[in-house]
Structure 1
Amino acid sequence: MTQDVIEAVKKAKEQSKPRNFTQSIDVIINIKDLDVQKPENRFDEEVTLPHGRGKDVRIGVIADGELTVQAKSAGVDLVITKENLEELGKERKEAKKAANSVDFFIAQADMMPLVGRFLGPVLGPRKKMPKPVPASIKLDPLLERLKKTVKVGVKTQPSIQVIVGTQDMTDDEIAENVEAVLTILDRHLEKGRNQIKSMFIKTTMGPIERVI
């Protein structure tokens, strides 16, 4: 299948009109014989793409003390301290703005009860509840991994659409990222990738190209 993916990526790039920005490349997978009404058939998992997403990932850190120092030093997009957390709990509009401004949140584990209390109603519905981490963690390796991470899941429809790179990445790199996504199907579906009904590659604003 890898060669089919490479060919589809190549065609998707060729068919896409030049734009004044670097377009993302998505894989769209439709799954057969999957009843999404059954909770056991739904899944939501994070996948680390071997060649990254090709675009910046925005990360927020909710912490106190040393962890906030590390976060600011690493240049994360949003740092929320204990004081900020309480303020956001009172300002729902600002809390929503903060939630929408980042892709992933990390939170100091001992602050999770406060996160649930003040931000849970905003982060929960957006599927952005933070990853709890110990206060002693070295943030840099975790941040690097998150920058290559995408969420892959099946919820209300038996289909998946997820970013697997950008048009300035090589066809091979994008194909290897697609393969990483497919391993999730092997893990969660009874017949693995044999349950794929159809699969397509597309750029942000270009036409879709069929893989299978």
Structure 2
Amino acid sequence: RRAAALSSSTGGLRRRGGLGPDEKRQLRTDHLDQALRLVRACATRGFDEGVSVDVLLNVDAKRTEERVRGRVLLPHGQGKTVRVAVFARGEKADQAREAGADVVGAEDLVEEVLKGRLDFERVLATPDTLPALARAARVLGPKGLMPNPKRGTVVTDIAEAIQRSKAGEVEFRAQLAGLVMVGVGKVSFGTKKLTDNLLAALDAVLSARPDRFRGKPPKRITISSAMGPGVDLDHTLW
């Protein structure tokens, strides 16, 4: 089925009708490379738009046993610099600095966060700093930055975690409606790099579903640039 989805054929393009004048133009195609060409062609706002894939899963995210979350290391990253803050002490703090962490600290960093410092996109922590870090939960939590073992952001191998964060590791989770959104790069990446990233993202999202849903196609897969129309892939091919 994937071979069909990756086909470079120009057939299979359809316009979804019935859209009002204020709605985005919606396109549909059976072929991934054609979908990405359409997305790139429609990105005409004069800046390098981000590209994302939305996957509507056939799960009920309200049920604990059907929640979907995970991480994926995109082969070509997301096309942006990720600033990483690390809560660590002693030798682990030294390792974090050597590995390229942008901000490193423990109690002192907690105080800075409480004062409003949030100049980072990802937060990692060693287990021993969690009691001190709890004070910053009310600030980091609403931003989705609070380290959590389930998210893979409470770590002992701090150097590897920093390298993965810098290299383009992305977290994802299904919203209550079962929708997962993953940024897969920039329009300037070109079709080949976007294809690699998108396939990695789709594999990770679909593999993160509970066992009884695996092998079943999702309800919808849509690719779009930040300001462009959505292009629906034939979800039955996945």
TMscore range, shorter length: 0.7 to 0.9
TM (norm. structure 1) is 0.81
Letter in 2 for 1:22: D
CA shift for structure 1 position 202: 0.9
Aligned residues: 199
Following superposition of structure 1 onto structure 2, how do residues 23-38 of structure 1 map, counting pairs within 5 Å?
Answer: 23-32=49-58, 34-38=59-63
Question: Is the contact made by 1:107 and 1:132 (CA closer than 8 Å) also made in structure 2?
Answer: yes
Please name the residue that 2:13 is paired with: none
Letter in 1 for 2:69: D
Residue 138 to residue 182, structure 1, CA distance change in 2 (3 Å): closer
CA shift for structure 1 position 8: 0.6
Question: Is the contact made by 1:28 and 1:162 (CA closer than 8 Å) also made in structure 2?
Answer: yes
Letter in 2 for 1:202: S
Q: What is the Cα-based RMSD across aligned positions, in Å?
A: 2.3
TM (norm. structure 2) is 0.73
Determine which of 102, 107, 111 is the counterpart of 2:125.
Answer: 107
Letter in 2 for 1:180: A
CA shift for structure 1 position 207: 1.6
CA shift for structure 1 position 194: 2.9
Letter in 2 for 1:44: R
CA shift for structure 1 position 13: 0.4
Structure 1, unmatched stretches of 5+, are: none
Separation in structure 1 between the aligned mates of residue 121 and residue 32 of structure 2, nearest angstrom: 27
Question: Is the contact made by 2:70 and 2:208 (CA closer than 8 Å) also made in structure 1?
Answer: no
Please name the residue that 1:145 is paired with: 164
Letter in 2 for 1:58: R
Determine which of 38, 62, 79 is the counterpart of 1:54.
Answer: 79
CA shift for structure 1 position 119: 1.3
CA shift for structure 1 position 185: 1.2
CA shift for structure 1 position 152: 1.6
Structure 2, unmatched stretches of 5+, are: 8-30, 148-152
Please name the residue that 2:190 is paired with: 170
Separation in structure 2 between the aligned mates of residue 14 and residue 127 of structure 1, nearest angstrom: 33
Question: Is the contact made by 1:182 and 1:193 (CA closer than 8 Å) also made in structure 2?
Answer: no
Separation in structure 2 between the aligned mates of residue 24 and residue 13 of structure 1, nearest angstrom: 10
- Secondary structure at the residue paired with 2:219? strand
Residue 126 to residue 107, structure 1, CA distance change in 2 (3 Å): same
- Find the structure with the greater CA-based Rg: 2
Separation in structure 1 between the aligned mates of residue 145 and residue 231 of structure 2, nearest angstrom: 31
Following superposition of structure 1 onto structure 2, how do residues 151-162 of structure 1 map, counting pairs within 5 Å?
Answer: 151-162=171-182
- Secondary structure at the residue paired with 2:143? coil
Please name the residue that 2:19 is paired with: none
Letter in 1 for 2:6: T
CA shift for structure 1 position 82: 2.4
- Secondary structure at the residue paired with 2:188? coil
Determine which of 185, 197, 200 is the counterpart of 2:206.
Answer: 185
Question: Is the contact made by 1:63 and 1:82 (CA closer than 8 Å) also made in structure 2?
Answer: no
Separation in structure 1 between the aligned mates of residue 172 and residue 217 of structure 2, nearest angstrom: 16
Q: Does 1:124 align with 2:150?
A: no
Residue 201 to residue 63, structure 1, CA distance change in 2 (3 Å): same
Residue 6 to residue 119, structure 1, CA distance change in 2 (3 Å): same
